[in-house]
């Protein structure tokens, strides 16, 4: 994949609790759960643990194990410091498998979209209170964006043994463009606007910058992170193996990588 990301703290937040990484073999966005302690630590720690060590993902089971191990790292943080108990993060990531397939991992309300042949489709289902209301027909789709509890999520990663992540296989097609983003984007931009930006941008860098810029112009009151991944013709998997980090992940733990 050719991937790029942009993360902005936004005009109404003092701390960026979004974290992201990009690499030819994978990319992800994690959003620290609002209302809990140290959301920036949770998202950054999870992202860095996912990237650490081997960068080859064999299959869905291998990815699930890697995510579970990263989640154990969050528990280790809370066991060392009781003030961190309750910290948690969402995760939405796209990973290239050893055989050249794609795996989509998701928990929480950060989203993944796929632009294929000019048509945008949403590839994740929010783990949220409002999504449950929609599923049961208790509110109309038009009411979801302004619902007072739209940021209440029903699944996340916080170090517990029963934390869950959905891992799905996706067939890659050269020319596909994926968007992974935090709810600071999707709570403020309609999907038609996302489709327009992703379709018109000449590169992942331009697309990610365009999405974040529009969310800021729309008055988002949250952190804003967009990760854009273009599916490209396969190249040597060892080329450009090192990941780039954004948001909280660029501010925390990078010193450990630099000294390694």
CATH, residue 166: 3.60.40.10
Overall number of domains in the chain: 1
Determine contact, residues 5/226, Cβ cutoff 8 Å: yes
Q: Which domain holds residue 249?
A: 2-258
Closest CA to 194 of 162, 240, 226: 226
pTM (whole model) above 0.75: yes
Q: Which helix (H) or strand (E) holds 94?
A: strand 91-96
The string of pLDDT tens digits covering residues 58-116 is 999 999 999 999 999 999 999 999 999 999 999 999 999 999 999 999 999 999 999 99
What pLDDT score was predicted for residue 229? 98
């Amino acid at each position: 994949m050719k991937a790029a990301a942009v993360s902005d703290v936004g005009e109404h937040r003092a701390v960026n609790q979004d974290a992201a990484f990009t690499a030819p073999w994978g990319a992800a966005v994690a959003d620290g759960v609002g209302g809990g302690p140290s959301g920036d630590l949770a998202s950054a720690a999870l992202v860095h643990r996912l990237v650490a060590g081997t960068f080859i993902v064999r299959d869905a089971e291998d990815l699930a194990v890697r995510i579970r191990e990263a989640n154990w790292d969050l528990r280790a943080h809370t066991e060392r410091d009781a003030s961190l108990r309750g910290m948690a993060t969402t995760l939405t990531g796209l990973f290239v498998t050893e055989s050249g397939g794609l795996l989509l991992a998701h928990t929480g309300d950060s989203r993944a979209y796929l632009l294929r042949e000019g048509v945008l489709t949403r590839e994740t289902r929010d783990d949220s209170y409002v999504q449950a209301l929609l599923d049961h027909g208790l509110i109309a789709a038009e009411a979801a964006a302004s619902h007072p509890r739209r940021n209440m999520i029903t699944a996340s990663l916080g170090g517990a043994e029963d934390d869950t992540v959905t891992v799905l296989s996706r067939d890659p097609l050269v020319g596909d463009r994926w968007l992974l983003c935090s709810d600071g984007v999707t709570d403020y931009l309609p999907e038609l606007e996302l489709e327009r930006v992703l379709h018109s941008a000449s590169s992942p860098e331009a697309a990610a910058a365009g999405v974040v810029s529009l969310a800021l112009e729309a008055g988002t009151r949250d952190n804003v992170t967009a990760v854009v991944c273009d599916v490209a013709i396969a190249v040597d998997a060892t080329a450009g193996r090192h990941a780039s980090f954004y948001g909280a992940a660029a501010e925390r733990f990078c010193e450990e990588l630099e000294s390694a």
